[in-house]
Structure 1
């Protein structure tokens, strides 16, 4: 009997490229609003799943392992668990699965793994891979990081993000690197999901001018993570000063910093986001939840 396989959409992109901002809006739009969600983070404490605002009950966090390296078995196990939960109606009957990878993930091994696992292959199919890349930092990121180049190589569609923060020269440079690709632009997560999905119906991409590392199911990243627990901060200004000290200490080796920190005498948490190249960290208040208070650093090894 022919079994209709569940479509899987992968959202990837280098550290700080804005994929979580974009995905948080897509998850509120059909058809992703009826999806199951798998979030992968390499840090000891994951925060993306807590900040995406996903309303569904079919969600899983794969933390402290990148799915394209040591996390592939956990990903296949998560897909199996979701399938059985869906079949037994212990969760809502999702129509598709959305996977958000870490900012260092190569989507190639992920897609290959899904085709090599017999159970998963029979029940799921890759429907599309979206890769985000930050317009202001695209040229430098693609030059310095093989992971970013591999993400573009594995993309079915490329979303150029933060276009509102880029000048004409930066936009022209990234467009030149993406000749032949299915490309859309987004400013502060403005690209609608339907417009992104429409890209997948265009002629297949053949991205030029992008060199990637040879494909392999087993590899590792030249980066390490570190979690700094912070019980609480006096206020946002005090937290910002602490973050500036961390940035000064690690310099160019600091690729990403994110976390949630409890504020003294407040029912809120401070959500912290910083990526290499940003002028300063973005700190905003958000409702308190069970996430450990502290900051995750991703450092170039």
Structure 2
């Protein structure tokens, strides 16, 4: 008897491209609302896993390791654990698995590793990879970041996010650059995470633009990333304005070397937690309040910075 393998969807995209915001919407829609979720984050404190709003009980966080580098055994182990938990009904029966990678992950080695692990290969199959890229810095990201180019090369569907932050001419230029670099790529647009899961799966189902999958990548592509993480502990911030000022000081200190900043910070004025998000290209950090207990989080900011800036 041929065992029906569990489909695996990979969601990737460079730092700050809006993949977590988009995935947060998708996880509330069928069929992803019945999925198991694996979130990979670089940095000792993961906030994407805490802020996705996923209500299912089959979820795992792989923190402080990039799965395309040192975290591949942990990913295979997570998939094995999920399979046995599903079989023994210790978690609700999920119909698929969704993996959100860190923004520094090249999906090629990740997918190749899944196909080489005998247990995982027999029980799971790659159903597709979505890659996000932010419209407001797409051209700059393509020019500067080899990881972003690798993510797009390995994509089954490309979603240009944050289209509300650019005018029509800028969007046309960005898409033209993408189509020139990746001829025949399936490309869609999303503003304010408006691109729904139904449309995303329909995009994925369009005829494949390439005869062969670009996921069959050799392990020689595994390499150290040209970025480092640093956790800046903050016991508490007095108010939002003070926190914004602190983030602005960090932006000035690192300049273009600051790729990403995110974290959970205790707020004295509200006795609550603030979620802080900033990516290169943003004019200002996004700070919102989170519905979680202040004593349950490690308060501070994770900085992802070009390696030469930390020397």
TM-score with structure 2 setting the length:
0.92
Whole-angstrom distance in 2 between the partners of 1:104 and 1:166? 24
Shift of 1:45: 0.6
How is 1:76-225 mapped onto 2 (pairs within 5 angstroms)? Answer: 76-179=76-179, 180-206=184-210, 216-225=220-229
**Structure 2 unpaired stretches of 5+:** 212-216
SS at match of 2:220: coil
User: Does the Cα contact within 8 Å between 2:262 and 2:301 map onto a contact in 1?
Assistant: yes
Q: Deviations over 1:86-120 (max 9, x none)?
A: 11100000000000000011110111000000000
- Correspondent of 1:295 among 295, 301, 309: 301
SS at match of 1:60: strand
Shift of 1:200: 1.4
Give the corresponding residue for 1:236. Answer: 240
Give the corresponding residue for 2:272. Answer: 268
How is 1:53-64 mapped onto 2 (pairs within 5 angstroms)? Answer: 53-64=53-64
Change in Cα spacing, 1:3 to 1:214, as seen in structure 2 (3 Å) is: closer
Shift of 1:215: 6.7
Shift of 1:202: 0.9
Shift of 1:206: 4.5
CA RMSD of aligned residues (A): 1.5
Whole-angstrom distance in 2 between the partners of 1:4 and 1:130? 23
Moved over 6 A (4+): none
Shift of 1:166: 1.1
User: Does the Cα contact within 8 Å between 1:68 and 1:217 map onto a contact in 2?
Assistant: no
SS at match of 1:68: coil
Whole-angstrom distance in 2 between the partners of 1:128 and 1:166? 28
Whole-angstrom distance in 2 between the partners of 1:220 and 1:237? 37
Give the corresponding residue for 2:214. Answer: none
Shift of 1:247: 1.1
Whole-angstrom distance in 2 between the partners of 1:217 and 1:117? 18
Give the corresponding residue for 1:277. Answer: 281
User: Does the Cα contact within 8 Å between 1:106 and 1:151 map onto a contact in 2?
Assistant: yes
Whole-angstrom distance in 1 between the partners of 2:113 and 2:174? 30
Whole-angstrom distance in 1 between the partners of 2:268 and 2:292? 12
Shift of 1:265: 4.5
Give the corresponding residue for 1:52. Answer: 52
**Structure 1 unpaired stretches of 5+:** 208-212
User: Does the Cα contact within 8 Å between 2:109 and 2:218 map onto a contact in 1?
Assistant: no
Q: How many residues align?
A: 296
